Amino acid sequence: MGARAQAILPLALVVGVLSFLWTEFSLNATFHLITTQDKVLGGPLGQPDQFHFILPVAFVSWGLFFCAGGDNAAFGKIAISSLFGCVAALITMYLAYKTASFPDFWGIALWVGIAAFVLVAILIAGDWYYVAGTFPAFASVFLWWIATGLDGWVTGKSETYNLANFTAKSNGSGAFGGFISTSFYMVAVNVFVTLICGVVLGIVSAKVAAAITPKAKEA
């Protein structure tokens, strides 16, 4: 086995195992453990509660961790970036629907533009701020806000949906006719918590891979 393979395969193995564990945990927690109703959508799934994990979001911060250097400093950078991005997105969602609600998008566009300006301008504060990590966190919140029904911008609390004969207890309409409908502020919370899970996965994968990687023999 070549030196390159010896360096990469341990990390690949650790990432693969942790990816399996995270996927198994996050999906079971979201659709079986942390639920408001059981056995919906014609099967044994539960309707996710307001707080839940978002499987793919953790991979965003996990990847960012390695882009930032894959070390202890990277852990701090991406954790802070996740906080800045999620808080900015939370403020943006609130101001956007207060400015212009359904069906006008210009309120969302206006405040996204302002938030983007502010997030980049914070670079003036120093190199501790990692804007390349803030933007993906900001975008992750908006992605999940759209997927869960654009709560606030689209109104509709405690509506009944016909898709699976269940009542959507959270705000908005959301995917599957309200199956994962989530209040906008909980969208930001859920994304932030999941991003931090991804950073933890990153530091664990780096540490474990380093521990099991064969050390180069001294000449």
Please give the pLDDT value at position 162: 38
Query: How, if at all, do strands 160-161 and 35-40 pair?
Result: unpaired
Instruction: Give the pLDDT mean for 207-214.
Output: 94
Query: Does pLDDT of 168 surpass 50?
Result: no
Cβ burial of 13 (10 Å; 0-12, 13-18, 19+) is middle
Q: Is the pLDDT of residue 65 over 80?
A: yes
Q: How confident is the model at residue 154 (pLDDT cuts 50, 70, 90)?
A: confident
Report in angstroms the alpha-carbon separations of 178 from 38, 52, 112, 118, 161. Answer: 15, 15, 25, 33, 7
Stated pTM of the model: 0.89
> E strands, 18-122, where?
35-40, 45-48
- Locate 84 and state its tokens: 């800045």
DSSP 3-state percent helix, strand, coil across the chain (nearest 5): 65, 5, 30
Name which residue leads in pLDDT, 39 or 103.
Answer: 103
Mean pLDDT over residues 182-197, rounded?
Answer: 97
Confidence band for 176, pLDDT divided at 50, 70 and 90: low
pLDDT of 46 reads 87
In 10 A of CB 11, how many CB atoms?
Answer: 18
Residues 10, 15, 16: CA angle, nearest 5 degrees: 100
